[in-house]
Chain A
Amino acid sequence: MKKLIVAMTMGLGLLSSTALAQSAWTGGDDQPTSPLACDATPAVAVAKPYDGGEPAGAPDRAGKKITVVDVPKLIGIGYFNATTKGILDAAAELGNVDAKTDGPTKANIDEQITFLDNYITSGVDGILFAANDPVAIAPVLKKALSKGINVVGYDANSTPDARQWFVNQAEFNGIAKSLVDNLAKEIGEDGAFAIVTSTFTTPNQARWIAEMGAYAANCHPKMKWLETVEAQEDNTLSFNQATTLINKYGDELKGIVGMTSVATPASAEAVTQAKLCGKVAVVGLATPNAMKPYVKADCVKSVVLWNPVDLGYAAMHVLRAVADGTLKAGATSVKAGKLGDLQVINGSEILLGAPYTFTKENIDGFDF
């Protein structure tokens, strides 16, 4: 009996100590931020010399049929289903590309590297990737470059020298500005909000959150950040976490920001099931299909995203241009099929464009 009590007290003591131990986790990383201006002044494009990698001894692929593999962070979520669609659309349009998507079922760098390695061995001509970790993926991508394979990234970058080009959906600070401005519009300048993100270790999410913090501090200083919770890429967990946040803060919580295409619909679901539509705003990154029921029900006013189908589409076109040799280091723009001319920024990044806001009026026009 005594031992029982001892064990119990130990457990309790542990709980309370850890509770007071750590500094609050915002979900952001610790790299420098560069918030945009509070008004609609567009970001100044920084001209930098080309800093991408180069394949060694790539054969002349101009005009010839090429095999391309796309290895996203993971397969089985709406967002990457959409980028795959874009890639396949572009491949069909180009006519001389054989493309397929293959990847791990969890967002795990160990497995992603193995997938890439296998495809390098099988002798693909081009690789498209969205990295689970920018540094860890570099060695295997450099190996690809050394074998003369063309490498282009999208959505989540690697270190610049491990790939030739990176198609960036939008600048980190641009996304941060869109999200925070939309949030402020819905919850007011002194509202309190919480964030639902994927995991601690996802670089993109961490960057966005850090930028959001910097921008909010400058332009919406009275908005109160309550807490950030992690929810992996799991629907049920995201829902549970969002619900717990709603229960924990009660009336104080005015808005939830979802940082992944899984977290946002799950948060909207949590708000719907808690019968708080209209009282708790849900803002975030998501695919339109997942959000249609909530936007139609007026639970969610706006969904911010770039168009992932366009992102995949652009990436495929960039890869083709690189393989053909029409896109070279030092270029300032590249033609990407029906998207027209895309601008080159930061040396070796290609900007897709401004983030897109889906609302009740336009959401039916999209199917991804």
Chain B
Amino acid sequence: MSRLLKHESILAILTVLALAILAMQSDKFFTTDNLLNQGRLMSEVGLVALAMTFVIVTGGIDLSVGSILGLTAILLGVFWKNVGLPLPVAIGLAVACGSLAGFVNGLIITRFRVPPLIATLATLALYRGLAEGISEARSVRGYPEWFFFLGQGDILGIPVQLCLLVIAAITAGVILARTPFGRATYAIGANETAAHFSGIRVNATKLWIYTAAGFLASIAAVIFVSRVTTTRSDMGTGLELDVITGVVLGGTSIFGGKGTIIGTALGLILIQALKNGLSLSGVKGDGTIVVIGVVLIVAILASAIFDRNKGG
């Protein structure tokens, strides 16, 4: 247990350090307004990262989450405007389709034994292609006002999607750390064959996890559409890289078997803080990209060094 928390402790220290430095660089950084706003902006990546943590802990990966987001966004618009369904039904149906997309990923990986990297590389293209094809480049706009509450509203001063994210994070954290499902996830990542022989239903677990990734990506899509009031087929491009960077930074091992939701949360907070804080201190976009890359390498390096010294 203490070994598991070593990386998270380093990360926590790094995060606090970064927050402190950034707060010193700009007085607009550490205000309630700004912090809440950043929470709002990171909700989409955050939700998907929760599921991605499970995926990577099992030793897999999902590169198609960005495309699922785009596809769900398009379907939302199509179901509401072109098919004419009432908006809540359209939302539900779109989310169902997004989850189905995740389920299909899981099927390809478990039933056909295609390695996750390749399977989701193919579905990355396929789902994005479906989004482009179905939408024919038309955007859907003109949603009713109440819909914007999800992406732009507040509950007791806290952005709606941030509340959702916190609830989801706590749920995910409890599932991963304390339930048999969570233990099965770790077991699969550590040694899949052994997990199978100890009675864990490996395929079913994986199917659930990939479906969850699709589900959360589609929820993120609904939030995003609500935030920007329109749909585009290129929404979510590049999301997978942001999510994976956050999860990996958080200490989840790409080989599987290791990782926590707390780590993912810290990783995401650190990256969001950097993106925002650096911009406020006057660093331009390209500089921020470099810093994030360096932080990733340094953080993992530091963690690797400390792990080795512990006698791994």
Contacts and interface: CB of A to CB of B under 8 A. Distances in A.
Contacts of B229: 135-136, 138-139
B203 interface: no
B237 A133 contact: no
A113 interface: yes
B139 A105 contact: no
A311 B35 CA distance: 36
Interface centre among A25, A121, A206 (most CB of B within 10 A): A121
Interface stretch (A33-41, A96-104, A211-219): A96-104
B304 to A, nearest CB: 30
Interface stretch (B98-106, B208-216, B276-284): B276-284
Interface string A113-124: 111011101110
B191 interface: no
Given A114-B275, A121-B28, A135-B141, A100 B284 contact: yes
Given A119-B279, A139-B152, A139-B227, A102 B232 contact: no
B116 interface: no
Interface in B169-202: none
Interface in B81-106: none
The size class of the interface chain A forms with chain B is 20 to 34
Interface stretch (B16-24, B46-54, B130-138, B258-266): B130-138
A123 B34 CA distance: 11
Contact of B279 (A22, A29, A108, A118): A118
A117 B227 CA distance: 13
Interface string A121-136: 1110000000001011
A201 B233 contact: yes
Contacts of A324: none
B41 A121 contact: no
A136 B141 CA distance: 9
Contacts of A30: 138
B276 A121 contact: yes
B232 A122 contact: no
A200 interface: yes
A113 B228 contact: yes
B45 to A, nearest CB: 10
A89 to B, nearest CB: 20
Contacts of B115: none
Interface string B273-312: 0011001100011100100000000000000000000000
A138 B227 CA distance: 10
B250 interface: no
Given A108-B238, A136-B232, A122 B138 contact: no
A106 B28 contact: no
Interface residues of B, number: 34
A135 B228 contact: yes
Given A110-B235, A121-B34, A139-B228, A75 B132 contact: no
Interface string B228-248: 111011111110000000000
Contacts of A137: 228
Nearest to A114: B41
B26 interface: yes
A108 B280 contact: no
Contacts of B280: 118, 121-122
Contact of A201 (B137, B275, B276): B137
Contact of B41 (A103, A105, A117, A200): A117
B37 interface: yes
A29 B138 CA distance: 8
Given A102-B284, A200-B136, A123 B28 contact: yes
Nearest to B69: A110
Contacts of A110: 224, 235-238
A199 interface: yes
Interface string A308-323: 0000000000000000
A103 B285 contact: yes
Contacts of B26: 122
Nearest to B286: A105
Given A117-B37, A121-B33, A123-B28, 19 more contacts: A29-B137, A29-B138, A75-B286, A100-B284, A105-B285, A106-B237, A108-B234, A109-B228, A110-B237, A110-B238, A118-B279, A122-B280, A133-B230, A135-B139, A139-B152, A200-B137, A200-B233, A201-B137, A201-B233
23 contacts: A22-B133, A30-B138, A103-B285, A106-B238, A108-B237, A110-B236, A114-B275, A115-B285, A117-B37, A118-B275, A118-B276, A119-B279, A121-B33, A122-B26, A122-B280, A135-B139, A135-B228, A136-B229, A139-B152, A199-B137, A200-B132, A201-B139, A201-B233
Closest 4 CB pairs of A and B: A200-B137, A136-B228, A118-B279, A135-B230
